[in-house]
Amino acid sequence: MDLFDAIKSASKATGVFVHPYDGPGKSLMLSVSEKGSVYSMDQPYADGDEHFFEALAVELEAAYLKAEVIENNHWAFSLLRGGILLDRFDSCPEYFSAARDEAMVRSFEGRPEVLAEVWGIGVNEIERYFRCWGRFSDLEGFKITLTGRAYESDQCEYGDYFQIYDFLSKLGFAENWRYQFAVKVPSRRYGKDSFFKEDYSSLDINQVVEDPRQGGLFG
């Protein structure tokens, strides 16, 4: 499916307002790059936006890798296709857990052969990123112990969350940001009775304008 048609469909499916935009005000914008068959998308954090990205990947019949930096400390990713979780990785799986939960830690170890097959690249190009940076101890808390670079061509070492860009570059990540979209994400309530509090999918571009007082977009 065409990218713009897919975005329109995903917008309706999730209640998120997403519309091509080339005006001022980039505080809440979806930026999209294109390199070969890989779309790279960047958007300032908005609660609930993962629903839109997952729906967009389904519309495009594409694999979707959600890469994120955790508390300016380490990085992680989730890999999905068809709305199904295929794999996940966290460079510091014990970061939020003082008690070592072996099953939890193993669930975030990741499987480089899965990502390699889905992405169509050699496993030797990415497998060295699948390393845990450290361990949690009762005396020192969480401590990063892994040092060095995953690959000689990398810019960043283990322990530096900017390593995520070395990893993504192996997957075809680009920052040419060819397309810009105005975005408005509805408030959501999570839980057993989860539902959208608001649905912005039917908004017109004229209803999302620049707010000079806040330097951002509002509806």
Q: CB of 80 within 8 A of CB of 63?
A: yes
Nearby residues of 186 by Cβ (< 8 Å), 6 or more positions away: 15, 16, 48, 196, 197, 198, 199, 200
- Is pLDDT above 70 for 188? no
| pLDDT tens string 30-39 | 889 999 889 9
Instruction: Name the nearest CA neighbour of 164 among 67, 73, 92.
Output: 67
Q: Is 55 exposed, middle or buried (0-12, 13-18, 19+ CB in 10 A)?
A: buried
Mean pLDDT computed over every residue of the chain: 84
Confidence tier at 185 by pLDDT (50, 70, 90): confident
The single residue listed with the structure tokens 């020192």 is 140
**SS3 (DSSP) at 119:** helix
Q: What secondary structure does DSSP assign to 32-48, as a single string? A: EEEETTEEEEE----TT
105 φ, ψ (degrees, to nearest 5): -60, -45
Q: What is the pLDDT of residue 76?
A: 96
Distance CA 57, CA 25 (A): 26
The predicted pLDDT at position 212 comes to: 43
